[in-house]
Structure 1
């Protein structure tokens, strides 16, 4: 699956694809955010949760960049 193909899916299809093909890498948790990061083929997927309601609010995909920085122990 390519990043383009993933981004063309509906939210429900993205959800199913992450659970079926995604490899969990890490999570990022603050008072207001809960984000799990997964790898699928050659791109990354973030699953955003509502901390208040414990529901998925957004699923975003990317290949590289600043979105990965929050998972690093290095402070920039």
Structure 2
């Protein structure tokens, strides 16, 4: 499935695909907000939810750009630290 096809689906269908086919790539907790990054086919979905209620606060699907770069930068630094022992 391509990103533009996913975006044309109903919200209910998008969530079904996210839960059934999405692969959790990263998760972090910032205060009361859980930020989750999923990979679905050839694109990503970032989902923010309330940590206690699991109510979805925000959701965005994308292929690249600043939203993805913040995750890539996070892991690039971690890999470098592992390799250098710092």
**For the superposition of Structure 1 and Structure 2, which TM-score range results when normalised by the shorter chain?**
0.7 to 0.9
What number of residue pairs does the alignment pair up?
74
Unaligned runs of 5+ in 2: 78-86
Gap change, CA 1:42 and 1:20, over 3 Å in 2: same
What is the TM-score when the length of structure 1 is the normalising length? Answer: 0.79
Over 3 Å counting, the alpha-carbon distance change for 1:29 and 1:58 in structure 2 is same
Partner of 2:64 in structure 1? 64
Q: Which runs of 5+ in 1 are unaligned?
A: none
- Name the structure 2 match of 1:54: 54
Q: Give the C-alpha shift of residue 32 in structure 1.
A: 4.2
* 1:68 Cα deviation after fit: 1.9
C-alpha RMSD over aligned residues: 1.7
With CA pairs under 8 Å and 6+ residues apart, which has the higher RCO, 1 or 2?
A: 1
The answer to which structure has the higher helix fraction is: 2
The aligned runs of 1:1-76 (5 Å cut-off) are: 1-51=1-51, 53-71=53-71, 72-73=74-75, 74=77
Large movers: runs of 4+ above 6 Å: none
TM-score (norm 2): 0.72
